[in-house]
Structure 1
Amino acid sequence: MINFQFHMPTRIIFGPGKLNELGTTPHLPGRKALIVISAGGSMVRHGYMQLVQTLLAQNGAESVVFDRVQPNPVLEHVTEGAALARAEGCDFVLGLGGGSSIDSAKSIALMANNPGNYWDYMPGGTGGRQVPPNPALPIVAIPTTAGTGTEADPWTVITREQTREKIGWGNDSTYPALSIVDPRLMLSVPPRVTAMTGMDAFFHAVEAYVSRARQPSSDLLAQQAVSLITSFLPQVVKDGSGVEARTMLAWASTAAGLCESLSSCISHHSMEHALSAYYPDIPHGAGLVMLSVPYFRHLTRYVPDRMVDLAYFMGADVDAMPAKEQPLAFVAALEKLIADIGLDDLTFSAYGVKQSDMPKLAKNALETMGGLFNLTPTQMNERVVTEIFEAAYR
């Protein structure tokens, strides 16, 4: 932990009402934006997209809208979005919405300024492992969920449907140049989506805390994110109308995104990517929740001190437990949190996952996102990964 790099180039404007600064900030990175939103229509229904266009115009910027993004973004739409950005002469890309829209904006920004196919640059699976010759167009991120933290990291996750590969990637140019985090935009998020996205942020922080890439600054941010999410996520799931509680969750999500920049996720995310690559109807946060208890129970024996820390961060009465049981306090606290936010009803079988799929999911996780296994604090082979998938199956 005494050898590390600290690199965080994104300017973050944070706080309720801060979206209005899009209309006045001198840090807008261009004059014509491709606005990337989901195909679901929520950004239009809530008026967020129209407001962003108005604010950009106030700041002297034109805009074009790309509205094809799916909950699990796909390669085809990255290609389409990049072609639109080039055809319209856009000089920056603005992601508005959840992690899917912002991740897509990052990938579109890369391909708007580079030749070939996006998959040429993927480092795993069937990816071409090439280095992009040019940086991405500048990116602006405006999240409307408290979950992915993608506003504070360079990572973008895209699925290649033909081969069922869901791969995370990023470089220095895919950090947003500017992120505006306005918790008021999150007041409209439904309880179940709030719960799932909140748990995505939770696991970003937890994984960063046990990762081999951890460092002192990521540890501090992870501690705060875990504590805030444990305290505020059940409250917001019960009543999402409070700006103060939404603000605490928004900061926890951004802090967890910073953890992804300064430390890293581990193989828990690799396994979920395999799961939702085969079953794209599974929300990312739901997949993480369904895998989490057996995954972290397995990890407990390898990083017991870190697991005890995490239990403390969650407010567990660790000192009342026998010493040998204390590392499992985190798993118990995790199960309680999942129940408190109403996600203990999630099952693989409800999404159509077959028990016979477990070996191929394990193989996919290791082949497509093997890099995160290298950052996991123990070696995990195909047999171990299969066993964790099987233990998670209900």
Structure 2
Amino acid sequence: MLSAATSPPRLTTLVLLTAVSVLSTNMYLPSLGHIAADFDVSYAMANLSISLYLAITAVLQILMGPLSDRYGRRPILMSGLVIYVAASVGCLLAQDIVVFLVFRMFQGAIVGGMALSRAVVRDMHDERSAASLIGYISLAMAIAPMTGPMIGGFLDQLFGWRANFVFFTVVGAALTLLCWWDLGETNTQKSATIRDQFRTYPELLQSRRFWGYAICQTFSLGAFYVYITGAALVGADVFGLSTTQIGIAIGAITGGFAIGSFLSGRFASRFPLFVMVLAGRVAAMFGLCLGLLLMAFGILNPITYTAAIMFVGFGNGLTLPSAASGAMSVRPKLAGSASGLSGAMAVAGGAFLTSLTGALLVPENAAERLVLIMLGSVLVSLLAALYVRRIDLREGATY
């Protein structure tokens, strides 16, 4: 029998926790049409499995963060994994859409794997080292969205849509065993009671640095959400691309994110946080401004357009690990709370920006307007980063 872990986890375990969290969001998306047909409901009803899942993950991140600060990372992560496995079985066996949607919401408990992995890293390392390791963990957030739908579509084609949830069940169970064996407790500064924990919460909410970093994260990711919302429209109506080509174009921004995340892993430990954050914001601004300039001169084709967009992914890879580390470093005793709250903000911000993008885009000016909306989101993130830097210069950087 495997004995419970007492030492900090390996980086591989944290990467796998993050990867499964991301896979659970999008891997089964190619099966939505088959799910709707199987349950004899509309596509819009089946699509609720995405929106409800995202909504519950936003709420859970707000709750799981403080709970992990009070009770420890390990029990919250292990509880979330057990719930996830049970919910995956529920989705697999569901015979009507309501039961499926309920269990799909419970699958959101896996979000702790992504949110709390960052807190675990911050528990074990200083700000710069944490940013470096979060950069490597973020590679999972780049690779999983690219490979997940391909795996899910392949399983659906061979065995039907329920095969996706067999996959989630098996992988979730294996990950639960791995974490039981490898993920020891890293939070050594737990609060005495949950009441004491929530009494310290205002320290985080009153921190201007935290809000600066959190807003920077929200609108950096927001530019990505904007792009994936409008990419299909631009690809099909402006450039006449096939669905396969559109998929490649969408993957380009994720490829840029992978490169930026890798560079964060290599260099974030060598530079102050603000250098990495600002470098990423400048790179994203440069790419989008270059894209607009080319369009102003009448140069508009899939290659130049996609190349400009890749800078956004690349910039996010540089910015997000250091911004996440900064948010958690404002109040180290509240690292879990900071990670959960900033993660919930990113989900909520993404939902808002995707809705806004869907309302504003029309085929006649989709290419230009999509870049402009992304540029607005990146600009807000840049201003938030500069705001944090201003605080550092006035009050002295704490890291």
TM-score (ref. length: structure 2)? 0.29
Q: Which has the higher contact order (CA 8 A, sep 6+)?
A: 2
Structure whose residues are more often strand by fraction: 1
